[in-house]
Structures are given as C-alpha cells and as structure tokens.
A and B are shown apart, each in its own frame.
Chain A
Amino acid sequence: MIEVLTYTFMQRALVAGVLIGVVCAVIGVYVVLRGMSFIGAGIAHASFGGVALGFLLGINPVISAITFCLAVAWGIAWISRSGRIKEDTAVGIFFASTMALGILVIGLMEGYNVDLFSYLFGSILAITREDVWLTVGLSALVLTLVGLFFKELLFITFDPETAQVLGLPVNFLHFLLVTLIALTVVIALKVVGIILVSALIVTPAAAAWQLTDRFGRMMILAALFGIVSTVGGLLLSYALNTASGATIVLLSTTLFFLALFLSPKRRLAWK
C-alpha cells in the first residue's frame, strides 16, 4: 500500500485531493449555513454542459467548464435577484437545461468518450500535471477571496438584511459567493466527478456543524473532514479499485453520520 505513494499519479491526486477537500469544505460552510445546497448542485451539473462543449470544440474542458459554471452561477443569481423567479426555480431551470445541452453535445460527438466518463464520475488517473497546477491556482484564489471577505461573508450568511441596512454591498457579496461556489465546483470536478461534487461541498460542512456552535471551529472541522474524505477516499478507491468520486463521497457521508451520532446537539435534543 505504501509504494502507491511513490507513483506520480497518486502524488498528484493526493495534492489535488487535500486542496479539494479544504476548498470544498470551506465554501461548503457558507453553502450549508445559507441553505444553498441546491445552487451548489445546480452549478455542478451545469459544468457537464461546459465539459461536453469543451470536448466538442477541442478546448480544455476545465476552461470551458469554468466559463459555463460562472455563467450559470451569475445567471441564477441575477434572475433570482430580479425578484420575479425564486432562486430554487432558477436553479431547477439551469440544472436541467445545461445537462440537456451536455447530452445533446455528446450525441454530436463520434463514438464513446472515456475522458468524458471520468469527468462524470471522477477518476484519480485523469489528473494531469496541468490539472494539479490549475487546482493549486484556483484553490489559492478561492481561499484568498474567502480570507479577504471573511467578515463580510459571515455577515451576509448570518443576517443579510442587517448587512444591507448597514450599507454592506450585499449584491456584490452574493455574486462573489456564487462565483466562489462555481470555482470550487470546477476545482473538484476531475477528482470527484460532476454528479458527486456538490456532496463533497455540503457533507463535510454539515458534519462539522453537528459538532460545534462556533463559526471558526466549524470551518476548521469541515476542512479536516474534507481532507480525510478526499485523501482517505483516494487511497481506498485505489486499494479497492473503485471510482474515486464515489468512494470519497461515501467516506464523507460515513463521517457525517458519525458526527450526527456523536453530536452534543443531538444528545441535547433527546433530553
């Protein structure tokens, strides 16, 4: 088992895995606390259309996925801000239509595409050297933005109305947050897969929430759960020869149920 760590592909996967675990968990804290899980899932599925288009046009699918996810994230935010359509409705529309577009595009391509399959379900082997650098760069960008706007993101997550009354730029901050979600989805895409990426955003944060009532601790715990899930999941998937994304997500789900049973809040609720 140890010698697997000397393989270049596994080293790449682990570096990417640690970063993905942290970034997904950190963004997941906001997603979970603001009740935005569905937006996360919607943006993740939108990346399918982007990836498929990338293959069709012969451009790097990650680049086309970023473009697509950002467009959909901003589209959802803009439509729901305009007030005529509820946010979950906007997500529902984009969710299905971008998937449909992806399916249509696949139909236009000749034959069956193995790479596309790895995007859907995640694969350790699919991670190239360029992907690692892209993951490092995007992770640094997301974490830096979270660090810079930490207090503002906390305020709009806890009490957006008062934040607006006091003059914080809540629209900008909301757009920033959906942008961060979109970037996070793209970062995690190759390892976890399009279908499962939103679970890796939501589950570690939800697990952390069971164990603490401090914001900072929730974020640190979520990041730890995220790392354990991705690193553990990658090693397990190699050992068991299973799909990496599914293994990672099931491991994080296991952690979530452990946290749920050990939760002091749950014990309190049972009294």
Chain B
Amino acid sequence: MGTTHRVVSTAPARETGAEPIIELRDVTVAFEDQIVLEDVSFTVYPGMFVAIIGPNGAGKTTLIRTILGLVKPVKGEVRVFGKPAWTLKEERKRLGYVPQILSVDLHFPITAGEVVLMGRYARVGLIRRPSSEDVRIAREAMARVGVEGLWDKPFGKLSGGQRQRVLIARALANTPELLVLDEPTTGVDVAATQTVYSLLREFHAEGMTILVVSHDVGVVANFVDTVACVNRRLVAHGRPHEVLGSEELAQMYGCDVAYFHHGRVPHIVVEPVEREEVASD
C-alpha cells in the first residue's frame, strides 16, 4: 500500500453564505478499540439533499447516529443547528428521523395512526395527551405521503412500501427542518423505492434539508444534489455525477459505484492525492 488517497472535496457552492445545518470536523468514532469513522469532515447547508452511500459496514449508520447525537465521537466536532450534537435539546423538535425498518418489531401491536402520532409526542410534551390538533397534523402527514386510509391498520400488516411511508409520515408530523433517513428503501420493491425518493424530492423542493443513507446508489443519483461516499473515511463528497464518475475511486475504496452512470464530468472535485502518513493497513 504505502499511499492512500484522500479526496479533495467541496460541497456545492450555491449554499455558501448560509449557516451550516450539519457540520462535522475531523470526526473519529470508535467502539472499544475499533475505529468506525476516521477524520470525517462534512458539511450540510440548509436546503441540501444529501445521500450517504458506501458498502455494508462502512460506518454509514454510525455517521447518522453521530449526527443525531446518539453516539459521541472520540475526536472532532459535530454541530447540528449550530450546537454540539449531543447537547441538542429543544432543537430536536426541528428533526425528523426515519430509522431502519429492521429496528422496528413488526409484531408490535400498534396501528399506523398510533405510529404517526408518535411524531408529535416530543412537541406534545411529557405526561400531556395529544390534542385533536396533533391528530389532525398526524392525519395530514399521512395524507401527504399517500397512506391516509391506513390510520386504523396494524402497522405490522402493511406492505414494506406502506410501512416506510408511515415512518416518513411520523417524521413529517414533527414538522422537521432536517429530515434524516437510514436506509428508507430496505426491503421495498422498485416502484415503492421510486415513490419514497419522489416524496423526498418534493420535500426538498419545499426547502427541507434531507440526509439519506442508502445503498440504492443508482436510484439515489437521480434525486439528490450531493453524494457523500463513506468507507470509514469520507471517500468522496460532491455532486452525483462528479462522485460517480470516478471509477478508480470505486475500486480503491470499495464503494459500490459500479451502478453509477458515467455522467459528464465537467470538473472533478474528487481526486486522489498523496498522503503524508503511511496508511496503517
């Protein structure tokens, strides 16, 4: 080995001037002795639609959990809404979160409507009951994603695509500025995947900032405006056609870029450079 490649990356320039909504600086995350993320620096400005891609075990979910303040990095700085991620309090009401469907028990006795209403709980406040207004907002969120008829249906009996939309509706019910989704299309068919991303594009067009972890690289490229490729390190970060064009990068870092179309490459922001230190592996 001897050399590793570092990516010189720039975020799309149009958002410059605005305060970042997410800012990671030299973030290293480790569990026990194992380093999961290393020196990740990464900025998301309001209004961006960012996909985090990378192979299995690359640390994508850890990156999301770090941004959400669920994991504390051993090194570096994570700021969300301008505050360190693990000190977020009231700011959490500006978040929408769609967890991996696998983290949810499908045998849990609960209706789709009850799931969506949970999105209101933080705003309702401890002990207090959701009001009819909260129910109205929850129903509206379900209508927004096209599952308004499922209010009384058991969550576990829904199709994969319906479940995802119910979880997205729950995130919407919190009226988020920043929507974070972890693999929102795992276990759903192609049509439902398209539906999910079309919805996200609509939210994006309305000004919502969206961060989505995905392995559907081919699909993601058609919808997002920025792709960040993660494999322990941030391997590439840029507009889809820029990141996706660099095939050597794919081989080198194991990012699953084979699916990517070779777009026009007007300017490559992803380029291999010599590193000063010798790679540890």
Contacts and interface: CB of A to CB of B under 8 A. Distances in A.
**A complexed with B:** yes
B89 A165 contact: no
Interface of B: 68, 70, 88-90, 92-93, 95, 97, 99, 103-105, 107-111, 114-115, 118-119, 121-122, 124, 126-127, 129-130, 154, 156-157, 170, 174, 180
Contacts of A161: 70, 97, 99, 103
A166 B154 contact: no
A166 B99 contact: no
Instruction: Report whether over half of chain B's contact residues are helix, strand or loop; otherwise say mixed.
Output: mixed
Interface stretch (A15-23, A50-58, A92-100, A146-154): A146-154
A158 B114 CA distance: 11
B118 A159 contact: yes
Nearest to A167: B92
Given A158-B110, A164-B70, A209-B109, A151 B124 contact: yes
A266 interface: no
A148 B156 CA distance: 27
Given A165-B70, A214-B154, A148 B127 contact: yes
Interface of A: 33, 148-149, 151-152, 154-155, 157-159, 161-169, 209, 212-215, 217-218
7 contacts: A164-B70, A165-B70, A167-B88, A167-B92, A169-B126, A213-B110, A215-B110
A151 B111 contact: no
Enumerate the 10 nearest inter-chain pairs by beta-carbon distance, A residue then B residue, closest first. A167-B92, A213-B154, A166-B122, A165-B97, A213-B109, A218-B109, A167-B122, A215-B109, A148-B127, A165-B68
A110 B32 CA distance: 50
Contacts of A168: 121-122
Contacts, number: 82
B97 A162 contact: yes
B66 to A, nearest CB: 12
Nearest to B88: A167
Contacts of B68: 165
Nearest to B64: A165
A215 B122 contact: no
**Interface-centre pick from B104, B107, B110 (highest chain A CB count, 10 A):** B110
A221 to B, nearest CB: 10
Given A165-B68, A213-B154, A158 B104 contact: yes
Nearest to A219: B109
Nearest to B89: A167
Contacts of B114: 154, 215
Nearest to A211: B109
B99 A162 contact: yes
